[in-house]
Each structure stands twice: as C-alpha cells, then as structure tokens.
Chain A
Amino acid sequence: MAPLENSRATAKLVPQQRTWYVPERDADKPPILECIGLGVNFGGLSAVKDFDLTLGPTEIAGLIGPNGAGKTTVFNLLTKVYEPTHGTILFDGKDTHNMTTAGISHAGMARTFQNIRLFANMTVEQNITVAMDREIKYSLLSGIVHGPGWKRKEKEAHDKAMDFLSIFNMEQYAGARAGSLPYGAQRRLEILRALSTKPKLLLLDEPAAGMNPSETAELTENIRLIRDRFEIAVLLIEHDMNLVMNLCEGICVLNFGEVIAKGSPEDIQQDPAVIEAYLGRKEA
C-alpha cells in the first residue's frame, strides 16, 4: 500500500485491505485501532515508515523488534507525544489527527512508559486517583472549600483505587511515596495508573523489563486477567520472547522503522526476515 503523503486532506477513508488479522472472537466487531501508512520524520530521517496495524477490541498484540527499531516511537505517535508526518490513526472509529495527548487519553487509550514516568513525589494511591480525574466529578470551588460531595467522591475514589491496587496485591503500598517503591512495583503501578483512566486500549512499553522469570510469568498471567476483566485490547512492546509468544495473539515485527513481518506467534517464529533481523544473515 502506498504511503498516504497528504492524508490530512483525505478525511474520508475507503475500506482497506486487511493486512493483519484479528482473533476470531473479534472478527465481527469493528477494530479498536487502525493505523494506515503511519510515519514520522525527524529532521529528514524517517523513524517510522508505512506502519499499518489493525487491532481487535479484545486482542493482545505484541510489537517487537531490535533496539532502535522504532517501537516506542509508534507508541509516541499513537498517543500524540509526537505528531505523525504521514498516515492516519483511527482509534475506536475516530480519526485522531486533531487530538492532543490528553484527548487521546479521554478517547480511551492509555499507556505506560519504557523509562518509568510515575508521579514520584505522590503516594501510590494518589498516582491512581489522579488518573481518575475525569471520573471524579466536582468543581474547583468544591475542591477548594471541600463542599458537599467532596468527601463522598473522594471516598469513592479511594475505594476504587484500592480495588485497582488489589489487582497486583499492592494495597499495603497505598500510602507509600511512589518513587520509593522497588522497580518491579513501580512498573506494576504504572500499569494500574493507565488502567484507572478506563481505557479501551492499553499500550504497555516493556512491562517486563528488569523482572525475573517468575515475576514475568506472574505479569503474563496478570495482563491476561486484566484483558479478561476489563475487556480491553492490549498492545505491548517487549523484548522477553517468552512473554510475547505466550501472551500475544498477533505480533508485529519492526526493523529500522518498517514492518518486516506480521502474524501469529508461530508464523513469526518461522519468518526468515525476522530471524535475519534478530540474528543477522548467515554468511554463505
């Protein structure tokens, strides 16, 4: 498919030929995310090029590739941390090109960061409740005078936060400073913070980085549980192939900013282009 150079002008989209398949259970539902010819240039250098992706509403998908392949850049494009220079993102059926980072969150996409970005000087509980900003509804005045509703809504927020923390058994940390948590717990908290924005799609950037095999196994299970409980789609970047192959239903492989393979874990493991990207070409 040709890159959509002037996609900004083409507001109306024609159905694309699917170059990606979704799990059978999602087949009849509209996709949660569609990227068409997505790309970005940094000073003439194209970091991501012709990126196409379709994601089912309850799918767990993986985005893998060697270091520097542009995986995190894709996340930054999806969440509008960077503005794409090419292509279109359809999230939940809506074109996102006029949305801000905050607007993307309101639309229902949440993410974690490769280099953890918690609110380090706030408590664990506050890290969760702050993400419920739109759900906790009271006015600035009410916040200032602690008027009627404030106490009830704060109590609700507290209960919900504890509920979220219980997903990873982190209730006992509720009052601790987020920056003081051990590394693994910080990663888990970041996932919970993203979840508490009530997303439809969760983007996880290397959720298992720095975890040992048993922690990783637990995380794998938990991500699956989260998907089942909240019925959301998950797109994750990960270097741990065990986790990716166990968890992901579809996998997309990036190298030098371009998609080199897509398919089920089995397909990916057999794909010569992927093997070459990871292991290098065998000298003849």
Chain B
Amino acid sequence: MGRAKELLKNKNAVTLIALAAAYAVVAWMLYSGHITRQFTNMIIPMSMYIVLAVSLNLVVGFLGELNLGHAGFMSVGLFTGCLLSISLADKLPLIARLPLCMLVGGICAGLFGFAVGMPALRLKGDYLAIVTLACGEIVKNIITNLNVTGGARGLNTQPIYSGAKALLPYAVVLVFLTVIVMMHIKKSKQGRAIMAIRDNRIAAESIGLNVTYYKLTVFIIAAFFAGAAGALYGHYFANVKAVTFDYNMSIEILVIVVLGGMGSVRGSVIAAVVLQALPEIFRDFGDYRMLIYAVVLILAMLLTNSPRLAPLRQKLSSVRLGKAKETGGENHGTA
C-alpha cells in the first residue's frame, strides 16, 4: 500500500502508468478487432505526434528557443530511413529492418539538427525561429526536387508499407523511449543546465555552463527523436511527399507543445492526443470541423493565458483543489 502511494506521488510514474494503460487498451482493441476503422487510423499518427511534441518541447520548453522547423527534422529522418528500408526490404524482416531504419533516420535527422543548431548559437528569439522555419522549407524543397526521393510525385513506400497492427509495437516503444528520455534529462545535470540557459543565459555562462554544447545537444536530441518518428511514420503510407512536412506541420506541433504547457512532458502527451482527436471528434460537423478547431484553439489560449482572466482562473483552480497543475516557465518566448 505504502509503495503504491509513493508511486502515485511520483508524477512521472503516474504519467507512464497512464500511458501504458492507454496503450494496453488500444492494443487490445486493435488486435481483437473491437475498433472502428476511423479509430485505427488515428493510432499511429497520434503516437507520432506524441513523439514530435515531446521532443519539440525539449527545444521550446526546456531550452526556450522557438523552433518552427521540427517537421523538417522529421522529414529528413523519414526519407533517409525509408530509403534504407526500401533497399533492405527483401533482405531483412520488419523486426530488424524498422529499428535499424529508425536509428539511421534518427541519426541523419540529428546531423541535420546539428546543422540547424549552429546558427542557433548566434541568433536569438524570432531570428532563430525564422531560420528554423527556413531550414524546414529548404529541406522540403530539396527532397521534393531530388530524384532519389521520388521528386514531386513523392516516394513510393508501397514495398515497405505496414499497417497499424504491425507498427503499433514499434510506435509504443518509440513513444516510451522519447517520454522516458525527456523525463530523465529533466532530472539530470544536463537538464538543469538546459533550463538554466533558458531562464538566464548570462547567469548560466557566469556559472561556467557551456552554452554552445548544451544548445547543440538539445537540437541534436530533439531532431533524433523526430527523425526516428519520421522513419517509422513513412512505413505507414504507400506514398510520402515532402510537402506534407512543411511549416504548417511544424506549427501544428508547436501548438501542441504550448497548449500542453512549456516544459511539461505530460502536458505534451495529453495535448498531442487531444488535439489530434479533436478534428476526428468534430468529424460529424463536416466542413465546420477545422473551423471549430480554430475557435477552440483561440478560446483555449485566451482562457488559459489572458492576464484579464487571471482571477477567474484562480477561482477555477481553487475549486479543483489538490489537482496540482504542472506549469513550466512561461515568461520566456519569442521577444
């Protein structure tokens, strides 16, 4: 009993247990067939968005740098990973091929993250944001124009296509890996250094932190996970086009991170699920669904962030007494 209570006090443990339970239910439904087609189609994309949001949170929430090119990282991993996978399709079974391709995709994306991180050392705020956006667009443009990636028609991933049932175990492993790594980093000396750079760069330098090293590390790790997610995601389609992974997608991931709470791993997971589910929930509204999504997004931001509504929020939170809400640092950002 005592141990269980102790475990419940540990926020990270609660998050992991809840996540595991959710995946257990999903897996049972998927493999036993108690599931609609619509829901099946959501499982893999939702898992990918969890990975993307949690890894982007490392850059935006922990390091405090605005990154508008996260989809570009994913794209690099997707195309390198899938090209490798296609070339190995006849030689290796999925169980060996997919992890290998995810690793390779992750590493390639990590290298790209390093390249994007370099200017990040000199640039601040919006200037960095625009450079990350530009890098994402450059990647999109390059991949669209290369023959090896199928050009504008997209890469034919028919040979390596796998359905949700085949991909779920890998997706679950990747999600857990990402979530656990982020949780661990937060509680390590590296995580402290990263957050210190976010809170006050000058003070961070004055206590001897190597800002260059930590910033690059963050960009590389975030890109690695986005790339690994991309490599997996590519296997879910029969054809992938680079234009899908443009700045709009990067923004979509950023929205998840901000709504989930800066620096909160759990928040990113929840927001990824909710925001991916919203358009599906509103499917009955037909054409109105994206409209409703937009309105919900604006209202959510106004309700949670408007200084004018602060008294109202306080009232609400005192009603939900005891429900500790994780809030990260929010007084840093694009300015």
Contact = CB atoms under 8 A, between A and B. Distances in A.
B189 A102 contact: no
Interface in A85-144: 100-106, 110-111, 113, 117-122, 126, 129-134, 136, 138, 140, 142-144
B203 A143 contact: no
A130 B189 contact: yes
A193 B207 CA distance: 8
Contact of A111 (B192, B198, B206, B209): B206
Interface string B179-201: 00100110111111101101110
B206 A130 contact: no
Nearest to B262: A121
B205 interface: yes
A105 B200 contact: no
A117 B217 contact: no
A79 B196 contact: no
Contact of A118 (B193, B198, B200): B200
Contacts of A157: 189
B208 interface: yes
B202 interface: yes
Given A110-B207, A130-B196, A197-B207, A121 B328 contact: yes
Interface residues of A, number: 39
Contact of A119 (B199, B208, B210): B199
B205 A102 contact: yes
Contacts of B199: 118-122
Nearest to A198: B208
Contacts of A122: 192, 195-196, 199
Given A101-B206, A194-B207, A150 B188 contact: yes
A105 B207 contact: yes
Given A105-B206, A105-B207, A143 B190 contact: yes
B206 A143 contact: no
B206 A133 contact: no
Given A120-B329, A121-B195, A130 B188 contact: no
B176 to A, nearest CB: 13
A117 B203 contact: yes
Contacts of B205: 100-102, 105
Contacts of A117: 200, 202-203, 206
B193 A130 contact: yes
A106 B208 CA distance: 6
B211 interface: yes
A129 B191 CA distance: 11
A273 to B, nearest CB: 32
Contacts of A118: 199-200, 203
A111 B204 CA distance: 11
A131 B207 contact: yes
A63 B1 CA distance: 60
A145 B185 CA distance: 8
Interface in B92-143: none
Contacts of B185: 143-144
Contacts of B191: 143
B192 A110 contact: no
Contacts of A102: 205-206, 208-211
Contact of A126 (B192, B204, B206, B329): B192
Contacts of A121: 195, 198-199, 263, 328-329, 331
B100 to A, nearest CB: 20
A225 to B, nearest CB: 22
Among B181, B200, B263, residue most surrounded by chain A Cβ atoms (within 10 Å): B200
A193 B209 CA distance: 13
Contacts of A29: none
B15 to A, nearest CB: 16
A133 B200 contact: no
A155 interface: no
A27 interface: no
Contacts of B329: 120-121
A146 interface: yes
Contacts of A176: none
Contacts of B331: 120-121
A105 B202 CA distance: 12
Contacts of B263: 121
A178 B206 CA distance: 17
Contacts of B190: 140, 143-144
Contacts of B184: 143-146
B208 A144 contact: no
Interface string A167-181: 000000000000000
A275 interface: no
B325 to A, nearest CB: 14
A241 interface: no
A197 B195 contact: no
Contact of B206 (A110, A120, A144, A154): A110
Nearest to A145: B184
Given A111-B206, A119-B200, A197-B207, 7 more contacts: A101-B206, A110-B207, A117-B202, A121-B328, A130-B204, A130-B209, A132-B189
Interface of A: 79, 81, 100-106, 110-111, 113, 117-122, 126, 129-134, 136, 138, 140, 142-146, 150, 154, 157, 193-194, 197
21 contacts: A79-B206, A81-B202, A81-B206, A103-B208, A105-B205, A105-B208, A113-B203, A117-B203, A118-B199, A121-B328, A122-B195, A126-B195, A130-B189, A130-B192, A130-B196, A133-B192, A133-B193, A133-B208, A146-B187, A146-B188, A157-B189
Shortest 10 CB-CB distances between A and B: which pairs?
A143-B188, A105-B208, A121-B329, A117-B203, A119-B199, A101-B205, A130-B192, A131-B207, A143-B190, A119-B196
